[in-house]
A = this chain, B = another copy of it.
Amino acid sequence: MALDNPPCETPEAHGRELGARARTALPALAKATRAQKDAALAGAATALRSGREALLVANAADIAAARDGGMAESFIDRLALTPERIEGIAAGLEAIAALPDPVGRVMDTTERPNGLLIERVAVPIGVIGMIYESRPNVAADAGALCLKSGNAVILRGGSDSARSTALIVEAMRAGLAGAGLPEDAVQAVGTYDRAAVAELLRGAGGTVDLVIPRGGKGLVGLVQREARVPTLLHLDGNCHSYVHADANLGKAVEVIVNAKLRRTGVCGATESILVDRAVAPAFVPMLAEAFAGRCELRGDGEAQAIDPRIAEATEEDWGTEYLDTVASVAVVGGLDEAIDWVNTHGSHHTDAILTEDHAVADRFLAEVDSAIVIHNASTQFADGGEFGMGAEIGIATGRFHARGPVGLEQLTTYKYRVRGSGQTRP
């Protein structure tokens, strides 16, 4: 297993060493032209394709070790690379190269009465720690988004994908070197000692600006609790779809089936369905029929009384992100109760209303305090690609810096550039 950065004396020192190396890469990254960054990404794609056989061998060794370790087949599937998946990773790098450069955008311009020209300009954030689990493609996706936005990244994936990740990182670094950019823009943590992760979460001696976790609730919760630097993350995606009394019920069923079942494992999947009392007798059986044999429904007493196919929900269900073929159903007394319910039980991630009354929709969109609020569409649109961002590194439910999908623009901050001609302040 090739490790780019042999650990120092201690895991903590290794974390700080990675951070320091990443910082030395920042000036060149910040002033890199779009052409250079795109060339680095294209070079990485080429290196990945030409190194395909070696990557498949390394991945087979990762898989064998995981099987020896008794990992479940669903885990093995996330870990596994195929020629098609490797081509997908390479194509993903090229797709990010094709996106506009988020660095250098002039976000606002003000000309002051004294003649000063003040521009707000997008600049990279700095050094980003990316902590994820077993999917080897995250190294390429996250590495490419950070590189394109002028940030240096320190990757720390799960130990199960160590051999695969090392080769993907090597391809990224070959692309950087070929484009005349510092290889240390993309580094991987060279130890699986958790003390190295803890050091990154502490900021690695002031060298790490931001940590982004990607993975299950255990990992994200750990990062949320332990990080002493800013993070962009979401812990839960307990998303709601609310069927208002003035919904088109046929359309509502269709949208909610998609919102729940298109993919059950994504954070934008609807987990809880609210139904106005006025339409519950008509709607709940339509819902139960559409979900029959495909998704378990757990409801409150009213929903159960309407349709016997609905199981009993406990209080815990209202706050649960199932990520599975289960959904909860509750009957509510109208818009106010629905807004209150979502703000109380939801995760401030993505919540939708189904109604033909636009004034009602406007109130839901205004008063539900979530990163994404939707009228008459599936909550599964909660995705940077679907928002037109081209790609995303994750979705954030915090209130700071970025909320919702985190794409290239959200991976930048800004500076003010002021041009004068000798002005002094009175």
Most chain B CB neighbours (cut-off 10 Å) among A248, A370, A373:
A373
- Asked if residues A366 and B31 are in contact (CB atoms below 8 Å), the reply is yes
Smallest CB gap from A229: residue in B: B400
- Asked if residues A414 and B424 are in contact (CB atoms below 8 Å), the reply is no
A416-B404 CB under 8 A given contacts A118-B387, A377-B116: yes
Stoichiometry, copies per complex: 2
Distance between Cα atoms of A386 and B117 in the complex (Å):
11
- Asked if residues A367 and B27 are in contact (CB atoms below 8 Å), the reply is yes
Interface SS of chain A: mixed
A416-B400 CB under 8 A given contacts A255-B424, A376-B422, A424-B255: no
- Asked if residues B417 and A365 are in contact (CB atoms below 8 Å), the reply is yes
Residues of B within 8 A of A414 (CB): 403
- Asked if residues B381 and A254 are in contact (CB atoms below 8 Å), the reply is no
Smallest CB gap from A374: residue in B: B418
- Asked if residues B415 and A381 are in contact (CB atoms below 8 Å), the reply is no
In the complex, A230 has a CB within 8 A of chain B: yes
Distance between Cα atoms of A159 and B65 in the complex (Å):
62
The contact size tier of chain A is: 35 or more
In the complex, A421 has a CB within 8 A of chain B: yes
- Asked if residues B418 and A112 are in contact (CB atoms below 8 Å), the reply is no
- Asked if residues B210 and A420 are in contact (CB atoms below 8 Å), the reply is no
Distance between Cα atoms of A370 and B415 in the complex (Å):
7
A378 CB contact (under 8 Å) in B259, B367, B380, B424: B424
Residues of B within 8 A of A361 (CB): 419
Distance between Cα atoms of A369 and B418 in the complex (Å):
14
In the complex, A85 has a CB within 8 A of chain B: no
Distance between Cα atoms of A357 and B168 in the complex (Å):
44
- Asked if residues A376 and B258 are in contact (CB atoms below 8 Å), the reply is no
- Asked if residues B377 and A420 are in contact (CB atoms below 8 Å), the reply is yes
Residues of B within 8 A of A367 (CB): 27, 30-31
In the complex, A371 has a CB within 8 A of chain B: yes
A416-B380 CB under 8 A given contacts A110-B387, A367-B27, A422-B255: no
A376 CB contact (under 8 Å) in B372, B380, B381, B420: B420
Residues of B within 8 A of A400 (CB): 125, 209-210, 230, 400-401, 413
In the complex, A217 has a CB within 8 A of chain B: no
Distance between Cα atoms of A182 and B375 in the complex (Å):
29
Interface residues of A in 379-426 (CB under 8 A from B): 380-381, 383, 386-388, 398-401, 403-404, 413-425
- Asked if residues B419 and A375 are in contact (CB atoms below 8 Å), the reply is yes
A262 CB contact (under 8 Å) in B365, B388, B399, B425: B425
Distance between Cα atoms of A110 and B407 in the complex (Å):
15
